[in-house]
Chain A
Amino acid sequence: MSEVIVNSDVSIDKVSRHYLLSVFSMRARTWPDGQAVRVFILPPYQPPHKKFVKQELGLFPYQLIKIWDRAVFSGAGQSPIVVANHREMLERVKSTAGAIGYIQDPKFQGGDDVKVLQVD
Protein backbone atom coordinates (compact mmCIF):
# COMPACT_ATOMS: atom_id res chain seq x y z
CA MET A 1 0.00 0.00 0.00
CA SER A 2 1.12 3.50 -0.77
CA GLU A 3 1.02 6.26 1.75
CA VAL A 4 0.39 9.77 0.45
CA ILE A 5 2.24 12.25 2.63
CA VAL A 6 2.18 16.03 2.89
CA ASN A 7 4.05 18.65 4.84
CA SER A 8 2.42 19.18 8.23
CA ASP A 9 1.41 22.74 7.28
CA VAL A 10 -0.95 21.50 4.52
CA SER A 11 -4.40 22.13 5.94
CA ILE A 12 -6.42 19.33 4.33
CA ASP A 13 -6.64 15.79 5.73
CA LYS A 14 -8.23 13.92 2.87
CA VAL A 15 -8.45 14.22 -0.89
CA SER A 16 -10.42 12.65 -3.68
CA ARG A 17 -8.57 10.39 -6.06
CA HIS A 18 -9.14 12.71 -9.01
CA TYR A 19 -7.83 15.71 -7.08
CA LEU A 20 -4.75 13.66 -6.18
CA LEU A 21 -4.26 12.95 -9.89
CA SER A 22 -4.61 16.63 -10.64
CA VAL A 23 -1.90 17.39 -8.07
CA PHE A 24 0.55 14.73 -9.32
CA SER A 25 -0.07 15.66 -12.94
CA MET A 26 1.15 19.18 -11.95
CA ARG A 27 -2.13 20.80 -12.89
CA ALA A 28 -3.18 21.93 -9.42
CA ARG A 29 -0.86 24.76 -8.46
CA THR A 30 -2.26 25.69 -5.06
CA TRP A 31 -3.86 23.85 -2.15
CA PRO A 32 -7.43 24.83 -1.24
CA ASP A 33 -5.98 27.20 1.42
CA GLY A 34 -4.04 29.04 -1.30
CA GLN A 35 -0.60 27.69 -0.47
CA ALA A 36 1.61 26.59 -3.39
CA VAL A 37 1.80 22.85 -4.08
CA ARG A 38 5.28 21.26 -4.27
CA VAL A 39 5.26 17.77 -5.77
CA PHE A 40 7.97 15.19 -5.02
CA ILE A 41 8.28 11.85 -6.79
CA LEU A 42 10.62 8.86 -6.76
CA PRO A 43 12.55 8.22 -10.02
CA PRO A 44 9.84 8.01 -12.71
CA TYR A 45 11.10 4.91 -14.55
CA GLN A 46 11.56 2.80 -11.42
CA PRO A 47 9.08 0.30 -9.89
CA PRO A 48 8.05 2.21 -6.70
CA HIS A 49 6.91 5.23 -8.72
CA LYS A 50 5.24 3.14 -11.40
CA LYS A 51 3.36 1.15 -8.79
CA PHE A 52 2.15 4.33 -7.09
CA VAL A 53 0.91 5.79 -10.36
CA LYS A 54 -0.98 2.65 -11.33
CA GLN A 55 -2.48 1.91 -7.92
CA GLU A 56 -3.18 5.32 -6.44
CA LEU A 57 -3.65 7.54 -9.50
CA GLY A 58 -5.21 4.87 -11.70
CA LEU A 59 -3.33 5.56 -14.91
CA PHE A 60 -0.34 4.16 -16.75
CA PRO A 61 3.04 5.69 -15.87
CA TYR A 62 3.78 6.62 -19.50
CA GLN A 63 0.65 8.79 -19.53
CA LEU A 64 1.79 10.82 -16.53
CA ILE A 65 5.22 11.43 -18.10
CA LYS A 66 3.49 12.65 -21.27
CA ILE A 67 1.30 15.02 -19.25
CA TRP A 68 4.36 16.55 -17.53
CA ASP A 69 6.30 16.93 -20.77
CA ARG A 70 3.42 18.61 -22.55
CA ALA A 71 2.90 21.06 -19.71
CA VAL A 72 6.60 21.92 -19.39
CA PHE A 73 7.19 22.40 -23.11
CA SER A 74 4.06 24.49 -23.73
CA GLY A 75 4.58 26.86 -20.81
CA ALA A 76 1.60 25.59 -18.85
CA GLY A 77 3.49 24.35 -15.81
CA GLN A 78 6.53 22.86 -14.15
CA SER A 79 7.73 19.30 -13.62
CA PRO A 80 7.74 17.44 -10.28
CA ILE A 81 10.90 17.29 -8.18
CA VAL A 82 12.56 13.88 -8.41
CA VAL A 83 14.14 12.57 -5.20
CA ALA A 84 16.58 9.65 -5.13
CA ASN A 85 14.94 7.42 -2.52
CA HIS A 86 12.42 7.11 0.32
CA ARG A 87 14.74 8.66 2.88
CA GLU A 88 15.13 11.81 0.80
CA MET A 89 11.39 11.79 0.07
CA LEU A 90 10.60 11.94 3.80
CA GLU A 91 13.17 14.65 4.46
CA ARG A 92 12.07 16.88 1.56
CA VAL A 93 8.36 16.58 2.29
CA LYS A 94 9.01 17.27 5.97
CA SER A 95 11.11 20.37 5.26
CA THR A 96 9.23 21.92 2.28
CA ALA A 97 6.12 24.04 2.81
CA GLY A 98 3.16 22.80 0.75
CA ALA A 99 4.98 19.57 -0.16
CA ILE A 100 3.31 16.32 -1.22
CA GLY A 101 4.89 12.95 -1.92
CA TYR A 102 4.34 9.26 -1.34
CA ILE A 103 5.94 6.33 0.47
CA GLN A 104 5.84 2.80 -0.94
CA ASP A 105 8.32 1.12 1.37
CA PRO A 106 6.59 0.08 4.68
CA LYS A 107 9.87 0.71 6.52
CA PHE A 108 9.44 4.43 5.90
CA GLN A 109 5.70 4.64 6.51
CA GLY A 110 4.08 6.02 9.61
CA GLY A 111 6.61 8.81 10.19
CA ASP A 112 5.42 11.43 12.72
CA ASP A 113 7.01 14.43 11.05
CA VAL A 114 4.71 14.39 8.02
CA LYS A 115 0.96 14.18 7.64
CA VAL A 116 -0.61 11.15 5.95
CA LEU A 117 -3.43 12.10 3.59
CA GLN A 118 -6.53 9.98 3.41
CA VAL A 119 -7.52 9.24 -0.20
CA ASP A 120 -11.08 8.32 -1.14
Chain B
Amino acid sequence: MLKSYKWTRRTASIIFLLYLSNPVVAGDNYEVNGFVTQGYFYTDNNNFYGDSQNGSFDFRELGINGAWNLKDDLLLSGQAVSRLAGGVDDGDPVIDYLLLDYRFFEDQNGSAGISFGRNKNPFGLYNKTRDVSFTRPSIVLPQSLYFDKARNLELSSDGIRLYGRKFFDSGVWDSELVAGIPRKDKNIEFAYLNRDWDGEFSSSKGYLFRTEYRPHDYSWVAGLNYGNFYFDFDGPDSPAPGAPGDGDVDIGILAFSLQYNLQHWSFTSEYMRQSISWGSLGGLYALQPKNVSESYYVQAERRINDQLSLFIRRDILYIDKNDRDGKRAEALSGRPAHSQYAFDWTLGVGWRPAKNWLVRAEWHRIEGTGWLAVQDNPVASDTEEDWDMLSLQATYRF
Protein backbone atom coordinates (compact mmCIF):
# COMPACT_ATOMS: atom_id res chain seq x y z
CA MET B 1 0.00 0.00 0.00
CA LEU B 2 2.71 2.38 1.09
CA LYS B 3 4.79 1.35 -1.89
CA SER B 4 2.09 2.05 -4.39
CA TYR B 5 1.41 5.42 -2.77
CA LYS B 6 5.09 6.32 -3.17
CA TRP B 7 5.09 5.14 -6.73
CA THR B 8 2.03 7.21 -7.52
CA ARG B 9 3.57 10.26 -5.93
CA ARG B 10 6.75 9.82 -7.92
CA THR B 11 4.83 9.30 -11.14
CA ALA B 12 2.76 12.36 -10.39
CA SER B 13 5.84 14.47 -9.78
CA ILE B 14 7.46 13.24 -13.00
CA ILE B 15 4.30 14.04 -14.94
CA PHE B 16 4.19 17.42 -13.26
CA LEU B 17 7.81 18.06 -14.29
CA LEU B 18 7.03 17.16 -17.89
CA TYR B 19 4.38 19.85 -18.07
CA LEU B 20 6.44 22.61 -16.54
CA SER B 21 7.63 25.26 -18.88
CA ASN B 22 11.32 25.95 -19.03
CA PRO B 23 13.07 26.91 -16.74
CA VAL B 24 11.98 24.76 -13.83
CA VAL B 25 12.45 27.39 -11.17
CA ALA B 26 12.52 31.08 -11.88
CA GLY B 27 11.94 34.31 -10.07
CA ASP B 28 12.34 37.91 -11.07
CA ASN B 29 16.12 37.72 -10.87
CA TYR B 30 17.11 34.08 -11.00
CA GLU B 31 16.43 30.86 -12.81
CA VAL B 32 17.43 27.22 -12.50
CA ASN B 33 17.79 24.75 -15.39
CA GLY B 34 19.10 21.24 -15.75
CA PHE B 35 19.36 18.10 -17.82
CA VAL B 36 19.70 14.32 -17.56
CA THR B 37 21.14 12.22 -20.38
CA GLN B 38 21.50 8.45 -20.59
CA GLY B 39 23.44 6.82 -23.41
CA TYR B 40 24.04 3.36 -24.78
CA PHE B 41 27.09 2.33 -26.83
CA TYR B 42 27.72 -0.81 -28.79
CA THR B 43 30.94 -1.47 -30.73
CA ASP B 44 32.11 -4.48 -32.72
CA ASN B 45 35.77 -3.82 -31.85
CA ASN B 46 37.44 -1.51 -29.30
CA ASN B 47 35.76 0.07 -26.30
CA PHE B 48 34.12 3.49 -26.16
CA TYR B 49 32.60 4.68 -22.87
CA GLY B 50 32.91 1.41 -20.98
CA ASP B 51 32.79 -2.19 -22.14
CA SER B 52 30.91 -1.30 -25.30
CA GLN B 53 31.80 -4.53 -27.09
CA ASN B 54 29.20 -6.10 -24.83
CA GLY B 55 26.91 -3.06 -24.97
CA SER B 56 27.57 -0.30 -22.41
CA PHE B 57 25.19 1.92 -20.48
CA ASP B 58 28.17 3.59 -18.77
CA PHE B 59 27.31 7.00 -20.10
CA ARG B 60 25.27 9.43 -18.07
CA GLU B 61 25.29 13.21 -17.89
CA LEU B 62 23.51 15.19 -15.19
CA GLY B 63 23.68 18.92 -14.82
CA ILE B 64 21.99 21.66 -12.90
CA ASN B 65 22.67 25.34 -13.26
CA GLY B 66 21.51 28.63 -11.95
CA ALA B 67 21.87 32.27 -12.95
CA TRP B 68 21.15 35.21 -10.68
CA ASN B 69 21.03 38.84 -11.71
CA LEU B 70 22.53 40.35 -8.55
CA LYS B 71 22.37 43.81 -10.07
CA ASP B 72 21.48 45.02 -13.53
CA ASP B 73 25.08 44.74 -14.67
CA LEU B 74 26.14 41.85 -12.42
CA LEU B 75 25.32 38.20 -13.12
CA LEU B 76 26.28 35.24 -10.94
CA SER B 77 25.99 31.83 -12.60
CA GLY B 78 27.14 28.30 -11.93
CA GLN B 79 26.66 24.74 -13.08
CA ALA B 80 27.40 21.41 -11.42
CA VAL B 81 27.83 18.41 -13.71
CA SER B 82 28.14 14.72 -13.01
CA ARG B 83 29.41 12.75 -15.95
CA LEU B 84 29.90 9.04 -16.11
CA ALA B 85 31.75 7.96 -19.24
CA GLY B 86 33.42 4.56 -19.10
CA GLY B 87 36.99 4.77 -17.81
CA VAL B 88 37.29 8.47 -18.64
CA ASP B 89 34.78 10.06 -16.25
CA ASP B 90 33.65 8.53 -12.97
CA GLY B 91 30.43 10.45 -12.42
CA ASP B 92 31.63 12.49 -9.43
CA PRO B 93 29.93 15.88 -9.48
CA VAL B 94 32.21 18.77 -10.41
CA ILE B 95 31.78 22.50 -10.78
CA ASP B 96 31.60 23.01 -14.51
CA TYR B 97 31.53 26.79 -14.24
CA LEU B 98 30.99 29.30 -11.47
CA LEU B 99 31.42 32.91 -12.33
CA LEU B 100 30.63 36.48 -11.53
CA ASP B 101 30.11 38.50 -14.68
CA TYR B 102 30.33 42.30 -14.66
CA ARG B 103 29.01 43.96 -17.83
CA PHE B 104 30.85 47.27 -17.57
CA PHE B 105 29.75 48.66 -20.92
CA GLU B 106 26.55 48.33 -22.90
CA ASP B 107 24.79 50.45 -25.48
CA GLN B 108 22.87 49.97 -28.74
CA ASN B 109 26.11 49.39 -30.67
CA GLY B 110 27.79 46.80 -28.50
CA SER B 111 28.81 45.64 -25.08
CA ALA B 112 31.83 44.54 -23.05
CA GLY B 113 32.38 42.77 -19.76
CA ILE B 114 34.66 40.79 -17.52
CA SER B 115 33.95 37.67 -15.54
CA PHE B 116 35.85 36.08 -12.68
CA GLY B 117 35.81 32.48 -11.55
CA ARG B 118 35.64 29.23 -13.47
CA ASN B 119 34.86 30.20 -17.06
CA LYS B 120 33.96 27.92 -19.95
CA ASN B 121 36.71 27.77 -22.57
CA PRO B 122 35.43 29.37 -25.78
CA PHE B 123 36.69 26.69 -28.15
CA GLY B 124 35.02 26.06 -31.51
CA LEU B 125 31.29 26.20 -32.08
CA TYR B 126 30.29 23.62 -29.46
CA ASN B 127 32.77 23.43 -26.58
CA LYS B 128 31.06 25.72 -24.09
CA THR B 129 27.97 23.53 -23.90
CA ARG B 130 29.44 20.24 -25.11
CA ASP B 131 27.92 18.23 -22.23
CA VAL B 132 24.42 19.50 -22.87
CA SER B 133 22.94 17.25 -25.50
CA PHE B 134 20.33 19.80 -26.59
CA THR B 135 23.07 22.10 -27.80
CA ARG B 136 25.22 19.63 -29.70
CA PRO B 137 24.45 18.24 -33.14
CA SER B 138 25.08 14.59 -32.23
CA ILE B 139 25.55 12.15 -29.33
CA VAL B 140 29.31 12.19 -29.78
CA LEU B 141 30.89 15.44 -30.91
CA PRO B 142 33.54 15.15 -33.64
CA GLN B 143 36.29 13.54 -31.59
CA SER B 144 39.12 14.90 -33.71
CA LEU B 145 38.52 18.39 -32.27
CA TYR B 146 36.37 17.77 -29.19
CA PHE B 147 38.28 14.77 -27.91
CA ASP B 148 36.68 13.35 -24.81
CA LYS B 149 39.82 11.64 -23.64
CA ALA B 150 41.28 14.95 -22.39
CA ARG B 151 38.10 16.93 -21.92
CA ASN B 152 38.96 18.63 -18.67
CA LEU B 153 41.66 20.67 -20.34
CA GLU B 154 39.13 21.84 -22.91
CA LEU B 155 36.23 22.44 -20.54
CA SER B 156 36.89 25.41 -18.32
CA SER B 157 39.62 27.52 -16.70
CA ASP B 158 39.88 29.21 -13.32
CA GLY B 159 40.69 32.85 -13.90
CA ILE B 160 39.22 35.69 -15.89
CA ARG B 161 37.26 36.14 -19.08
CA LEU B 162 37.13 39.36 -21.04
CA TYR B 163 34.52 39.72 -23.74
CA GLY B 164 33.20 42.27 -26.15
CA ARG B 165 30.70 42.62 -28.93
CA LYS B 166 30.30 45.23 -31.63
CA PHE B 167 27.45 45.72 -34.06
CA PHE B 168 28.10 46.78 -37.62
CA ASP B 169 25.54 47.48 -40.34
CA SER B 170 26.38 44.13 -41.86
CA GLY B 171 26.72 41.96 -38.77
CA VAL B 172 28.08 41.28 -35.31
CA TRP B 173 31.64 40.81 -34.18
CA ASP B 174 32.20 38.89 -30.93
CA SER B 175 35.51 38.32 -29.17
CA GLU B 176 36.55 36.80 -25.89
CA LEU B 177 39.68 35.87 -24.03
CA VAL B 178 39.81 33.35 -21.20
CA ALA B 179 43.02 33.20 -19.16
CA GLY B 180 43.85 31.22 -16.05
CA ILE B 181 44.41 27.72 -14.79
CA PRO B 182 42.83 25.00 -16.94
CA ARG B 183 41.34 22.03 -15.13
CA LYS B 184 43.68 19.05 -15.13
CA ASP B 185 43.47 15.42 -14.10
CA LYS B 186 44.90 11.99 -14.89
CA ASN B 187 43.17 12.05 -18.27
CA ILE B 188 45.49 14.83 -19.39
CA GLU B 189 48.40 12.44 -18.75
CA PHE B 190 46.75 9.70 -20.75
CA ALA B 191 45.99 12.06 -23.58
CA TYR B 192 49.29 13.90 -23.82
CA LEU B 193 51.78 11.37 -22.38
CA ASN B 194 49.84 8.26 -23.48
CA ARG B 195 49.92 6.63 -20.08
CA ASP B 196 49.84 7.28 -16.35
CA TRP B 197 53.53 7.63 -15.46
CA ASP B 198 55.10 8.07 -12.01
CA GLY B 199 54.76 11.74 -11.21
CA GLU B 200 52.03 14.23 -12.03
CA PHE B 201 51.20 17.53 -13.60
CA SER B 202 51.70 19.89 -10.68
CA SER B 203 50.62 23.16 -12.19
CA SER B 204 49.06 24.55 -15.32
CA LYS B 205 48.25 27.84 -16.94
CA GLY B 206 46.96 29.02 -20.27
CA TYR B 207 44.79 31.28 -22.34
CA LEU B 208 42.35 30.86 -25.18
CA PHE B 209 41.18 33.61 -27.51
CA ARG B 210 38.16 33.36 -29.78
CA THR B 211 36.75 35.80 -32.27
CA GLU B 212 33.63 35.32 -34.38
CA TYR B 213 31.85 37.28 -37.07
CA ARG B 214 28.38 36.73 -38.45
CA PRO B 215 25.74 38.71 -40.34
CA HIS B 216 22.63 39.76 -38.37
CA ASP B 217 20.54 36.94 -39.82
CA TYR B 218 23.06 34.29 -38.65
CA SER B 219 23.12 32.85 -42.17
CA TRP B 220 26.80 32.15 -41.63
CA VAL B 221 29.37 32.25 -38.84
CA ALA B 222 33.14 32.39 -39.13
CA GLY B 223 35.31 31.86 -36.06
CA LEU B 224 38.98 31.76 -35.12
CA ASN B 225 40.61 30.29 -32.00
CA TYR B 226 44.14 30.83 -30.79
CA GLY B 227 45.58 29.73 -27.48
CA ASN B 228 48.34 28.17 -25.41
CA PHE B 229 48.37 25.85 -22.41
CA TYR B 230 51.36 24.90 -20.23
CA PHE B 231 51.59 21.96 -17.86
CA ASP B 232 54.46 21.45 -15.40
CA PHE B 233 55.26 17.79 -14.86
CA ASP B 234 56.84 16.68 -11.57
CA GLY B 235 58.60 13.40 -12.32
CA PRO B 236 60.49 11.10 -9.97
CA ASP B 237 64.10 12.01 -9.10
CA SER B 238 65.48 9.09 -11.06
CA PRO B 239 62.93 8.11 -13.70
CA ALA B 240 62.81 4.53 -15.04
CA PRO B 241 64.24 4.07 -18.55
CA GLY B 242 61.98 5.87 -21.02
CA ALA B 243 59.92 7.55 -18.29
CA PRO B 244 59.63 11.32 -18.09
CA GLY B 245 61.43 13.42 -15.48
CA ASP B 246 60.73 17.01 -14.47
CA GLY B 247 59.73 19.13 -17.41
CA ASP B 248 56.76 20.69 -19.10
CA VAL B 249 54.29 20.11 -21.87
CA ASP B 250 53.37 23.12 -24.01
CA ILE B 251 50.27 22.97 -26.15
CA GLY B 252 49.47 25.51 -28.86
CA ILE B 253 46.03 25.63 -30.44
CA LEU B 254 44.87 27.19 -33.70
CA ALA B 255 41.36 26.50 -34.97
CA PHE B 256 38.88 27.79 -37.54
CA SER B 257 35.10 27.36 -37.67
CA LEU B 258 32.70 27.97 -40.51
CA GLN B 259 28.98 27.40 -40.54
CA TYR B 260 26.33 28.13 -43.17
CA ASN B 261 22.67 28.09 -42.08
CA LEU B 262 19.52 27.74 -44.17
CA GLN B 263 15.99 27.11 -42.98
CA HIS B 264 16.26 23.34 -43.30
CA TRP B 265 20.01 22.85 -43.63
CA SER B 266 23.16 23.69 -41.70
CA PHE B 267 26.63 23.01 -43.07
CA THR B 268 29.48 23.10 -40.59
CA SER B 269 33.22 22.62 -40.79
CA GLU B 270 35.97 23.13 -38.24
CA TYR B 271 39.72 22.73 -38.47
CA MET B 272 42.31 22.52 -35.68
CA ARG B 273 46.05 22.40 -35.51
CA GLN B 274 47.53 21.48 -32.15
CA SER B 275 51.28 21.76 -31.49
CA ILE B 276 52.65 19.84 -28.54
CA SER B 277 56.16 20.34 -27.24
CA TRP B 278 57.30 17.86 -24.57
CA GLY B 279 61.03 17.51 -25.24
CA SER B 280 62.04 18.81 -21.80
CA LEU B 281 60.49 15.73 -20.17
CA GLY B 282 63.32 13.52 -21.42
CA GLY B 283 62.87 9.75 -21.60
CA LEU B 284 60.90 8.58 -24.62
CA TYR B 285 59.77 12.14 -25.25
CA ALA B 286 63.28 13.24 -26.21
CA LEU B 287 63.04 10.98 -29.28
CA GLN B 288 60.39 13.22 -30.75
CA PRO B 289 60.43 16.50 -28.84
CA LYS B 290 57.63 18.15 -30.86
CA ASN B 291 54.46 17.11 -32.54
CA VAL B 292 51.81 18.84 -34.61
CA SER B 293 48.40 17.25 -34.95
CA GLU B 294 45.78 18.13 -37.52
CA SER B 295 42.04 17.56 -37.36
CA TYR B 296 38.94 18.65 -39.20
CA TYR B 297 35.38 17.65 -39.93
CA VAL B 298 32.62 18.49 -42.38
CA GLN B 299 29.00 18.06 -41.38
CA ALA B 300 25.58 18.52 -42.97
CA GLU B 301 22.42 18.70 -40.86
CA ARG B 302 18.92 18.48 -42.27
CA ARG B 303 15.97 19.68 -40.20
CA ILE B 304 12.89 17.92 -41.51
CA ASN B 305 10.60 19.69 -39.03
CA ASP B 306 10.73 20.94 -35.41
CA GLN B 307 10.86 17.35 -34.16
CA LEU B 308 13.03 15.46 -36.59
CA SER B 309 16.56 16.04 -37.90
CA LEU B 310 19.29 14.07 -39.64
CA PHE B 311 23.00 14.59 -40.05
CA ILE B 312 26.02 13.17 -41.81
CA ARG B 313 29.63 13.89 -40.89
CA ARG B 314 33.15 13.06 -41.96
CA ASP B 315 35.73 13.54 -39.20
CA ILE B 316 39.48 13.26 -39.72
CA LEU B 317 42.36 13.20 -37.21
CA TYR B 318 46.10 12.95 -37.74
CA ILE B 319 47.95 12.90 -34.44
CA ASP B 320 51.21 13.75 -36.22
CA LYS B 321 50.79 15.60 -39.46
CA ASN B 322 54.30 14.56 -40.48
CA ASP B 323 53.54 10.88 -39.83
CA ARG B 324 50.06 10.51 -41.28
CA ASP B 325 50.18 6.74 -41.69
CA GLY B 326 51.59 6.27 -38.16
CA LYS B 327 54.50 4.12 -39.34
CA ARG B 328 57.15 6.24 -37.70
CA ALA B 329 55.33 6.24 -34.35
CA GLU B 330 54.95 2.47 -34.62
CA ALA B 331 58.68 2.07 -35.19
CA LEU B 332 59.54 4.45 -32.33
CA SER B 333 57.08 3.38 -29.65
CA GLY B 334 55.70 0.00 -30.70
CA ARG B 335 52.12 1.30 -30.58
CA PRO B 336 50.00 0.29 -33.59
CA ALA B 337 50.24 2.65 -36.55
CA HIS B 338 46.43 3.05 -36.51
CA SER B 339 46.62 4.74 -33.10
CA GLN B 340 47.97 7.79 -34.95
CA TYR B 341 44.89 8.61 -37.02
CA ALA B 342 41.12 8.21 -37.15
CA PHE B 343 38.66 8.63 -40.03
CA ASP B 344 35.05 8.56 -38.93
CA TRP B 345 31.85 8.50 -41.03
CA THR B 346 28.80 9.27 -38.90
CA LEU B 347 25.10 9.15 -39.71
CA GLY B 348 22.60 10.24 -37.10
CA VAL B 349 19.00 11.06 -36.38
CA GLY B 350 17.47 13.23 -33.65
CA TRP B 351 13.86 13.26 -32.52
CA ARG B 352 12.07 15.58 -30.09
CA PRO B 353 8.89 13.76 -29.05
CA ALA B 354 8.06 16.56 -26.61
CA LYS B 355 9.48 19.98 -25.84
CA ASN B 356 11.75 18.79 -23.05
CA TRP B 357 12.79 15.46 -24.52
CA LEU B 358 15.42 14.56 -27.10
CA VAL B 359 16.21 11.08 -28.40
CA ARG B 360 19.12 10.37 -30.72
CA ALA B 361 20.60 7.44 -32.56
CA GLU B 362 23.80 7.37 -34.56
CA TRP B 363 26.11 5.03 -36.33
CA HIS B 364 29.86 5.45 -36.78
CA ARG B 365 32.14 3.62 -39.19
CA ILE B 366 35.68 4.31 -38.06
CA GLU B 367 39.12 3.57 -39.44
CA GLY B 368 41.89 4.14 -36.91
CA THR B 369 42.01 4.49 -33.12
CA GLY B 370 43.56 7.97 -32.80
CA TRP B 371 40.97 9.32 -30.37
CA LEU B 372 40.19 6.09 -28.56
CA ALA B 373 40.68 6.48 -24.79
CA VAL B 374 43.54 4.41 -23.33
CA GLN B 375 41.51 4.19 -20.11
CA ASP B 376 38.89 2.04 -21.85
CA ASN B 377 41.45 0.23 -24.02
CA PRO B 378 44.47 -0.41 -21.79
CA VAL B 379 46.18 -2.94 -24.09
CA ALA B 380 47.15 -1.21 -27.34
CA SER B 381 47.73 -4.48 -29.19
CA ASP B 382 44.12 -5.51 -28.50
CA THR B 383 42.74 -2.57 -30.46
CA GLU B 384 41.53 -2.99 -34.02
CA GLU B 385 41.91 -0.52 -36.86
CA ASP B 386 38.41 -0.91 -38.33
CA TRP B 387 35.40 -0.65 -36.06
CA ASP B 388 31.76 0.28 -36.02
CA MET B 389 29.82 1.95 -33.25
CA LEU B 390 26.11 2.29 -32.65
CA SER B 391 24.89 4.70 -29.99
CA LEU B 392 21.54 5.67 -28.56
CA GLN B 393 20.72 8.49 -26.19
CA ALA B 394 17.76 10.00 -24.38
CA THR B 395 17.80 13.43 -22.72
CA TYR B 396 15.35 15.20 -20.51
CA ARG B 397 15.81 18.87 -19.69
CA PHE B 398 14.14 20.91 -17.02
Contacts and interface: CB of A to CB of B under 8 A. Distances in A.
A46 to B, nearest CB: 10
A28 B218 contact: no
Interface string B7-51: 000000000000001110010000101010000000000000000
A78 B65 CA distance: 11
Interface string A1-43: 0000000000000011111011000011110101110000000
A98 to B, nearest CB: 9
B69 A59 contact: no
A75 B99 contact: yes
Contacts of B77: 75-76
Nearest to B96: A75
Contacts of A74: 97, 120, 128-129
Interface residues of B, number: 44
B291 interface: no
B53 interface: no
Interface stretch (B86-94, B103-111, B276-284, B373-381): B103-111
Nearest to A65: B134
B199 interface: no
Contact of B67 (A15, A77, A81): A77
A107 B103 CA distance: 39
Nearest to A66: B135
B132 A73 contact: yes
B362 interface: no
Interface string A55-80: 00011101100100110111111110
A69 B134 contact: yes
Given A70-B135, A75-B65, A81 B128 contact: no
Contacts of B101: 75-76
A6 B319 CA distance: 54
B167 A19 contact: yes
Contacts of A36: 69, 72
Nearest to B67: A78
A65 to B, nearest CB: 9
A73 B172 CA distance: 22
Nearest to A60: B263
A75 B71 CA distance: 16
B165 A27 contact: yes
A119 interface: no
**Which of A34, A73, A76, A81 gathers the greatest number of chain B CB atoms within 10 Å?**
A73
Contacts of A72: 23, 31, 33, 65, 67
B327 interface: no
Contact of A69 (B73, B108, B135, B306): B135
Given A28-B111, A29-B73, A32-B107, A18 B167 contact: yes
Interface string A71-98: 0111111110110000000000000000
Given A45-B355, A75-B67, A21 B31 contact: no
Contact of B79 (A19, A22, A73): A73
B31 A78 contact: yes
B135 A73 contact: yes
Interface string B174-192: 0000000000000000000
B65 to A, nearest CB: 6
Contact of A79 (B33, B63, B108, B134): B33
A82 B31 CA distance: 13
Most chain B Cβ neighbours within 10 Å, of A66, A72, A79, A82: A72
B261 interface: yes
Given A69-B134, A74-B120, A59 B218 contact: yes
Nearest to B172: A18
B78 interface: yes
26 contacts: A15-B108, A18-B172, A19-B108, A21-B216, A22-B167, A27-B111, A29-B75, A29-B111, A30-B103, A35-B72, A45-B355, A58-B216, A59-B216, A60-B263, A62-B306, A63-B261, A70-B129, A72-B23, A73-B79, A75-B77, A75-B78, A75-B98, A75-B101, A77-B75, A78-B67, A82-B22
Interface of B: 21-23, 26, 31, 33, 35, 63, 65, 67, 69, 72-73, 75, 77-79, 97-99, 101, 103, 106-108, 111, 119-120, 128-129, 132, 134-135, 165, 167, 172, 216-218, 261, 263, 303, 306, 355
Given A69-B135, A75-B97, A79-B33, 4 more contacts: A63-B261, A66-B135, A70-B128, A75-B78
- What are the 8 closest A-B residue pairs judged by CB atoms, nearest first? A75-B77, A74-B128, A36-B72, A73-B132, A73-B129, A19-B108, A75-B97, A58-B217
